[in-house]
Structure 1
């Protein structure tokens, strides 16, 4: 019996690590420049790339100065200078305090610096400024998930999906959190929906990630039953 339990334990630990890795991949994009014609160096999600640009245009703050500050922050982030990126974004926010995207990006940087509570505060401020900010709700969920605060993560993912029911990353993260709270059928349903959305969008990298998740979940379930 002991011989059989060991590989099972290793497998479950590996699966949990894979889950958290998937959350990181699906949840928070690296810095996404809200500048027309610019592409992030970190291949952000398509939905994350479009939505901030709309927010920036709607707020009327997409000035050359703002664009330059965002470019500088992105460059510092890509170089691994998180402190520099944070300082740059704080300058941006001081100059444009109503810039929801700036607060969102600051949250991303703070999360990468392992400052979860500060990151959540920045995301909350982004939501205060733009209540329909699905990306920010999803990001808060990712922070909670990284702390295994699954029920709180689920609450935030639900808010994101109420705003955008076809948010593939949100559906994926929601499915993972549901699985972690033993809501297996709902988890699979959410992941299958995310998979179909990514297929429709021809986002093959995301398709592969979700297919791997589904395979691991089903394999883990079989191991637990046996």
Structure 2
């Protein structure tokens, strides 16, 4: 579509700079803008969705072993050792089988390794352990979106937003899927909601990103505007 092709590649961030330390707090760190008809995935931010992390931490408060294993996984990820990070997290899950956050983290690493089916299974396990895990629903939606499974992605984003209607990143991801399925007005409406949320949260970077995305889509829709 013309609109999709006109979106700028400047919005796209590669995986290369992503660290598990960021994933630990924010979920998945992908960028969220569409280029050449493909949806790139948006990263939830730490000051929006902290509850799942706190919830996971409370499952074994004060556990030095738990903290150490997560730190080790983070270090391995930072070194580019995804296999090591996965092995570490699987060890973590074996020791703490009821820790939803560990399952969520494993899903992030698996998705980073381009193992979408395994990632989804891990996210679903996190949800089984903690039903109100908005980040995990959003993450599943992101996996589906990466496979152009738009309807499935929409379903998961709706679940995330049902838990937290003010989840700005899920609103943005949802908007991109709406746009991919030719529901431009609804997509723009969802982006406007995300924009208002980011403004209320004083998140200038996200405000700027969504404003630029809105401008790109609106400009591309109007053939009279170059």
Q: Structure 1-normalised TM-score?
A: 0.81
Give 3-state SS (helix, strand or coil) of 1:32's partner: helix
1:78–1:107 CA distance, 2 compared to 1 (3 A): same
Distance in 2 (CA, whole Å) between partners of 1:151 and 1:29 is 31
Which structure 1 segments of 5+ residues have no match? 1-7, 35-42
**What corresponds to 1:155 in structure 2?**
155
Deviation, structure 1 residue 47: 4.0
Structure 1 counterpart of 2:24, from 32, 38, 55? 32
Deviation, structure 1 residue 221: 1.4
1:182–1:82 CA distance, 2 compared to 1 (3 A): same
Cα contact 1:48–1:135 (8 A) shared by 2: no
Aligned-CA RMSD value? 3.0
Distance in 1 (CA, whole Å) between partners of 2:62 and 2:197 is 31
**What corresponds to 1:53 in structure 2?**
53
- Map 1:189-200 → 2, pairs under 5 A: 189-200=189-200
Cα contact 2:198–2:204 (8 A) shared by 1: yes
Which structure 2 segments of 5+ residues have no match? 27-42
Cα contact 1:70–1:89 (8 A) shared by 2: yes
Larger of the two Rg values belongs to structure: 1
- Map 1:206-225 → 2, pairs under 5 A: 206-223=206-223
- Map 1:1-226 → 2, pairs under 5 A: 12-13=4-5, 15=7, 21=12, 30-32=22-24, 45-47=45-47, 50-60=50-60, 63-223=63-223
Deviation, structure 1 residue 67: 0.6
Q: Structure 2-normalised TM-score?
A: 0.81
Distance in 2 (CA, whole Å) between partners of 1:132 and 1:172 is 20
Deviation, structure 1 residue 202: 1.1
Cα contact 1:56–1:62 (8 A) shared by 2: no
1:14–1:122 CA distance, 2 compared to 1 (3 A): farther
Deviation, structure 1 residue 225: 10
1:44–1:155 CA distance, 2 compared to 1 (3 A): closer
Q: Which is helix-richer, 1 or 2?
A: 1
Distance in 2 (CA, whole Å) between partners of 1:92 and 1:62 is 15
Deviation, structure 1 residue 33: 5.8
Deviation, structure 1 residue 147: 1.0
Distance in 2 (CA, whole Å) between partners of 1:214 and 1:62 is 45
